[in-house]
Structures are given as structure tokens and as C-alpha cells.
Structure 1
Amino acid sequence: MNFPSSLPARAVIREVGLRDGLQSIRTLVPTAHKIEWVRAAHAAGQREIEVGSFVPPRLLPQLADTAEVLAFAKTLPGLRASVLVPNLKGAERAIAQGADLMILPLSASHAHSLANLRKTPDEVVAELARIRAARDAAGSSCLIEGGVGTAFGCTIQGEVKPAEVLRLMQALLDAGADRVSLADTVGWADPAAVARLCEQALRLAGERFCCGHFHDTRGLALANVHAALQQGVARFDASLAGIGGCPHAPGASGNATTEDLAFMLESMGIDTGLDLEALLALRRQVAGWIEGEPTHGSLWRAGLPSTFARRAAR
């Protein structure tokens, strides 16, 4: 593997707690609280937020108000509001509601794909082609991201071969995805595996490979982010307070914790544009709304070191 001589000067953290986080807990967070979350995250400097998912409310009642949260997010200057869509019907809603980006999840694990979407991976590729056609017919500027999940292994199927991940990534691009991303849905990845697959993904997709999504099931999310950074990846999904999981991946914890990831990047001299004190204040607020639900992370316990403030002031 050939590591770049320097790390990216800037990295983007896309907040996914409002979707990937809330869909995995029982507590129903009121719409007003979600809107406050988006407002406060934007005030803290976040410019990419996944605000929900257009799935049937009976399946995920936690996300039934995605249209309302998206409508508010669209009023905030400079914010790119994204939504997850499981199919063409969800994509049509995303287009109609003016989402800036829609993410179609595809599982590289055949077994997980059937459990999660009731489609084979190649059937999901065909669905993306229909979504692209609908987007273009509507004259929409909404970007389409094909998210390749269980890219490093699967609790249902076991091994997922890198060659299959790359085949599906190319298939999504050929079907009309504007960009693609990789997700360690169940937290099986390690830094060496991340470096290898990211290197291959960048060689295949170039700048259209846009994002890494790492769950912290075994405590390796930040190490895996670092491995991806060394390959030149500069956008990562994260969840405030580390909330979340995967409905079809028992034991999978939430994503990399937003505030911990921001602290790591800023400490390394990589600009995130985020106000860490504001993020920690928001974390306390959100944790209060979901009291009793599992949360994760370390920065909130230890706080910012005194040297950090002096370094930031220079």
C-alpha cells in the first residue's frame, strides 16, 4: 500500500445520528427536538447532516417525521441535508421534498441484503438505475450516493470478499450513482483491511468514492478512520454520542462518535470547521432526550484538555 505523504488538510463529518442513531433505539424523539438538534449542529459548524429516512412509518416510527425535519434543514444556509432511501418510492419522496442528497444502501453481503431490504445486491443496483431515471426526469439536482454496506464482513453471512464489494461499487456507478461510499455496518473492519479496500476503491472510483462509515462495535472506529485518512479519504459519517446500531446486525454498536472523531481530527491538525464545546453541549442535550438509551464516547467524560484551547487559539 502506498500512503499519501500527508493527511488531508480538511475533513467533513456527516452527522448521521438523526437517522442511523435514532432508528436503532426505542425512544421516539419529538420532531421539535430533532429540529433543535439540526439547528444546534448547524450552529456548531456541521454542514452535512443525514436528517432521516423515507421509509414506511410502520417500519421505523422513529423517522416518520423526516419530511418535517428536512423542510427545516433546508432553511439553514450552507447545509447539505441528506436522507436514506430504501427504494424508488422513498427516492421519489426525497426528490419531491428537495433533499440535497439521497443515499441508497446496498449490502455486499447477500444474506444481509435480503434481511435488510428483501432484495439481492444486484436487484438494489437495478433499483438505483430506476432512481437515477426518476431523478433525471424530474430535473432534480439531488445527488445519488450508493452506500456499500457490510463491506468488511457480516454477522449473518460471515466473510464478504473485497472483489465483490468492488464489483458492486462499479455496478452502482454504472447504474447512475453520482458517488459511492463504504460502510463497516457491523464493526468487523480493522485498519489494515480499511487501508487495503479504500486504496482499491479510490483506484476504481477516484473522487466519486466519497465517504467512510465505521461502526465502533469493537472499539476500532477511530483507528479505521485514521487508516482511511492515510489513503486520502476525507469525509466520514459519525453519530453524536455514538448512538445507533443495525437492526439486522446483533451486537453492532453505533457509528464513530461525532465529538470524539472531531476531537481526534482537530488534534491532528485536520480542520473540521466544528466547535467542539458546542458539540459537547449538544451531546448533553440529546443524551437527556434519550435517557436510558445506550450512548458512547470518551470526550464528554474527560473534557477538552487545557492545551487544546491554547492550540486552537494560535
Structure 2
Amino acid sequence: MQLNNNVTEFILLGLTQDPFRKKIVFVTFLLFYLGTLLGNLLIITTIKTSRALGSPMYFFLFYLSLSDTCFSTSIAPRTIMDALWKKATISFSECIIQVFSLHFFGCLEIFILILMAIDRYVAICKPLHYMTIMSRRVCSVLVAVAWVGSCVHSLVQIFLALRLPFCGPNEIDHYFCDLEPLLKLACTDIYVTNLLLVSNSGAICTVSFVVLMFSYVIILHSLRNHSAEGRRKALSTCISHITVVILFFGPCIFIYTRPATTFPMDKMIAVFYTIGTPLLNPLIYTLRNAEVKNAMRKLWSKKLVSDDMR
């Protein structure tokens, strides 16, 4: 279907065309991306090497950090390099790949957050059956379902993008390829595509957010029957999860539930959930989780000891 288009590449207008502001974008994205890689890879390494972090909650946290890393990588490196060029171009194929990876890892993060909420519900509301219900096999199957569901969602986005004919302007008023800015360049009626986008991405974001918040309301309500210490520990974990959910879903709902209209702040909001949230997630989970911090200290201590023995 690409052969039917007159456009073979797109020009990304980015966040700004001002040379000085481009330098600010370069430095900001580079620092945020390096921080995202460092924080999430540290969590991934800690969970993989620590026996103390073998519970299902950390099994899901491992995949959340992995999806955060890949989600940020699908956008940040390209934006960093584009900030160095006077005119940033991206081929049609590269644009489609970016749309796929963006939605795949973004949707995977949504599903992992839902699995983490299920895990907390079982742990707090059904503690006696926790290890039976949330066995390693069950957790692995749930993660596999999340990967398949994310792939299906992304393929729908690609199908919608490939159906669009591009025959005129090729300037994307954004710093990355997404279906919403591509719709503006299509030389056809996009009403049906808009509806499909809202019913797909918009519905996934909104329904998932409502389900997550409702589940945490149930969890928090059930904490009144726990001891003070158990309530404090469970509350700390749930607050971390709720914070991540609000930070990630707020901007996504704002962007994907109304693709037919755009606002000047859209790009800045996109910055928040594409490079801000992946950086904040490891900070939120490590600063509010004593087990993760202790495991990181032990990992760091072992590394220092092994370096000294050399």
C-alpha cells in the first residue's frame, strides 16, 4: 500500500526550529534517556540477580522496567539525533516501525500495570491463596497474554496507518511518528479512522485506567481489616502503583481520546509520557520500596567485593 503514496519520507518538525532551543532539547532528552536506561536496567539487573525479589510483584516489575526501557528507546534516540540536524527526515518505513514500537511497548506497559494491580489484589485480599493463584506459571502465562495483546493492538495501528494515502504535504508537526499526526497529512476523509483510533487506543487507555483505579479502591478498602504494620506496607506499595498509573494514563487519555483535535500543549504532554514517565517509574519504585533498595545495596556490595578481590 506504500507504493500508492507519493510521499516516501516525512519531515519531523520536532519540538522547536530554534537552534538554541534545539540544543536544550538535545541535552534534556539525552539526560532523561540516560537516566531512564540507568534506572530501569538497574532494576532489571537487581531483580534478576536477587533471590529476595522472587515474588510475582517483582516478576511483573521486571517486565514493567523492560517495557519502559524499550518504550523510551523507540523515541528518545531518534529525537536526540534529530535535534542535531537542521532538517529531520524519516522514511515511510521507519515511521511505520516507530508507530508499531511506540504502541506495542506503550500497550505492554498498560497491561503490565493491570497485572501488577491483580497481583496486589490477590496478595492483600486473598493472602492465604496468594502463592497458589499467582504461581510462576500463571504469571508467565499472563505476561505472554500481555505481549500478544500488545502485538494485536500495534498491528491495528499499522493497519490504520497503511490505509492512509499520502499525496501532499509531508511535514509532521511532532517529534515522532504517531497515527494522530499522520492523520492530518492524509489526503482522504479520516472520520472513520478517527473513530477507530478512539475506539482502539482511546478505549484501551480509558477503560484500563478506570479498571485500575476501581481495583485500587477495593484494595485500599480491604486494608482496614489488616494490622497497622501490614496496612502501612501495603499502603506504601499501592500508593507507588497509583502514582505510576496516574502519571502514565493522564497524558495518554488526554492525547488519544480526542485525535480529531489538537492543542498547542500536545507535544509537551507527549514529552511527559514518552521520556518523563519511564524515568520516574524506577525512582518511584526504588525510593518507596525497602526490599528493592536493600537488594540494590547487596548487589552493589557484592560488586565492590569482587572488584577488590581482583
Report which of the two has the higher share of helix.
2
Q: Classify the TM-score, shorter chain.
A: under 0.3
Larger radius of gyration: 2
Higher relative contact order (CA 8 A, sep 6+): 2
* TM-score (structure 2 length as normaliser): 0.26
Name the TM-score, length of structure 1 as normaliser. 0.26
